Structure 1
């Protein structure tokens, strides 16, 4: 059997290699896995016309450069939102879709709680970078969860780009047209990993909404995880097993 071809898109904070190093090891030698950095951080500042389509184009360039007509796609947080845009724009390129708490999943059927949460995200705009990152982290978890502290010592150089990058994601989420009907037509397996300690008004609602959209949808809850200690970093062996099971189904179809 040929190795599974997989592209992994990170979130808006950790670089791709740091985010996915443990998972790639756990996936094993029968997976040709590429941890692709977001186009968002290809330059010092996000492009003025940045949108999720910027990530779609960059992802397809990566796949084309490798000669991959089809591949499995894994996306976390902002990378998960980008992965949904790929599924909408180019479903023929994907063998499966794995979503690790996508940061956004369209503008339809929002509950009052979800709407109120996004109003809180809007309020982050006025905060300076350090306060912005702390408040951003707080919104992603249940109220009783203590977010992980920043590592000791000076922040790494790549961290300087993150507040502007997150703001660019939040901006495109307000205007991007993620079409529910086109996602409904995506008939490949869709896997969703949800942290039991993540904010249910955000990621729990996204999971529930997407379960009504994709015809082949599988949800797995990681009870002790949340958005900022996600399974691909903390429980990579378990997640790797789940991904292998999804990918094996595509070989049998």
Structure 2
């Protein structure tokens, strides 16, 4: 039996392997899953010309190197934004798209609440690194959510790159032109996982917009106890794996 081919893109904080280890185990041996790190972190500093197109090109290189003419694509947070950009530019390469709370701002006609939230995100750029990440995390969840405390001891070496990387995402969201017409023409099925404790003015609105305006074959799955910083691919991998496998089977005509 032919295996399922999938590329998984992480968010702007945790590297791909620790982000997706448990999900890959839960998916089973017949799934060829590549957890791909972001091009953003290939060097010590984000490249001056980095944009979502850099990530799109990186996914294309990986797929070509593997000999994958078509495949499934999964993206979380910033990786979800890159997955949306890939779907707009190379729809013919995708069997399906799965979005795990993708980040997005851009120049769309957002609600006043979403626009105001992104003004707050933009204001974070002036903060020093030790204040930046806690403030960034607070904006991503509902006000009454208790965020996990910082782990004791020194942070892992890769963490030093994250404030600059997140700021690079915030900057590209202001200028990147995500082609709405091409997204509306995307025909493979789209799966969206949403945490019930995430900020509804951010990820909830993105889900609503993508469902109503763009993708004709769209499935939303809510994880009531999850939020953006304890996402289902890490906390509920078995449930998410089952949903993704069903999504992929339907995309390949097996469901």
TM-score (norm 2): 0.98
Moved over 3 A (4+): none
Matched positions, count: 253
Aligned residue in 1 for 2:220: 219
> In the alignment, what sits opposite 1:207?
207
Aligned to 2:230: 229
Deviation, 1:49, is 0.6
Indicate conservation of the 8 Å contact 2:38/2:79, yes or no.
yes
Q: In the TM superposition, what is the alpha-carbon distance from 1:130 to its structure 2 partner?
A: 1.1
Q: What SS does structure 1 have at the residue aligned with 2:95?
A: strand
Cα distance in 1 between the residues matched to 2:208 and 2:77: 16
Q: Is the counterpart of residue 64 in structure 1 residue 64 in structure 2?
A: yes
The equivalent residue for 2:162 is: 162
Give, in angstroms, the shift of residue 150 of structure 1: 1.7
Query: 1:106 and 1:193 mapped to 2: Cα distance?
Result: 21
1:4-29 CA deviation, whole Å, 9 max, x = no partner? 00000000000000100000000001
- Give the drift of 1:107: 2.8
Aligned residue runs from structure 1 range 1-253, under 5 A: 1-104=1-104, 106-212=106-212, 213-252=214-253
CA 1:93–1:246: 2 relative to 1, 3 Å: same
Aligned partners of 2:200, 2:172: CA distance in 1, in Å? 22
Deviates most, 78-87 or 97-106: 97-106
Moved more, 143-152 or 23-32: 143-152
What secondary structure does 1:252 align onto? coil
Give 5+ residue unaligned stretches, structure 2: none
> Which ranges of structure 1 fall in alignment gaps of 5 or more residues?
none
- Range 145-154 or range 34-43, more displaced: 145-154
Question: Aligned equivalents of 2:120 and 2:232: distance in 1?
Answer: 26
